[in-house]
Chain A
């Protein structure tokens, strides 16, 4: 069974620090990876997608992908209290239900002022 694993946390970082969120996946053939942020009681919102090995930066967010290690991470620089949320890693399931996403259980991030 294809799986996406995340540390559930909570991960607590002080305001202004770098938050590092990690994710591993089981399907070596996966090609598309996503990070979503979900505030309590709200639906997920897309932060970034990444398809190629290496780093992809967007503002304070950097996604890192290493397909050989089946590992994808999200770095949040200059963390703010408003970044406190659950971060979901998702991997496209090419063999599954019309390319649905397989989600990890999420890592809860808490940024302390």
Chain B
């Protein structure tokens, strides 16, 4: 149980284009989803937290107009990187947490974004 999927697993795009990454909880309802970014050999950096049906909460320094997050249902959250630039190239990982006050977060497999 507690499987989280991400799509796509990798993407290469041109500078200036937008990229959408999907995060799905496959066997549980995720009331809260988290989006992280990880640069090579660095730790996870929390970008934003989203609850189903409400606006995402962004961490300090993360541009909400650049990283659009939508949590439309209890099993799906999307991250759209708008007008991507080479410095946005990174490993983007989502995690999901279920109902009932459970604390455990389950991670998706990640999406590797390369912006040319």
Q: Give chain A's interface residues, CB within 8 Å of chain B.
A: 32, 34, 36, 41-46, 49, 88, 92, 97-101, 103-106
Q: Give chain B's interface residues, CB within 8 Å of chain A.
A: 32, 34, 42-44, 46, 49, 51, 57, 59, 91, 93, 97, 103-110
Q: A41: which B residues are within 8 A, CB to CB?
A: 91
Q: Across the interface, do B104 and A100 meet the contact criterion of CB distance under 8 Å?
A: no
Q: Across the interface, do B109 and A88 meet the contact criterion of CB distance under 8 Å?
A: no
Given contacts A97-B46, A100-B49, A103-B43, contact A43 B110 (CB under 8 A): yes
Given contacts A97-B59, A98-B32, contact A32 B103 (CB under 8 A): yes
Min CB–CB distance A74 → chain B (angstroms) = 16
Q: Across the interface, do A99 and B32 meet the contact criterion of CB distance under 8 Å?
A: yes
Choose among B46, B57, B91, B104 the residue that contacts A34 (Cβ–Cβ < 8 A). B104
Given contacts A98-B51, A100-B46, contact A46 B106 (CB under 8 A): yes
* Chain B residue, CB-CB nearest to A93: B46
Q: Across the interface, do B109 and A46 meet the contact criterion of CB distance under 8 Å?
A: no
Complexed CA–CA distance, A45 and B44 (Å): 13
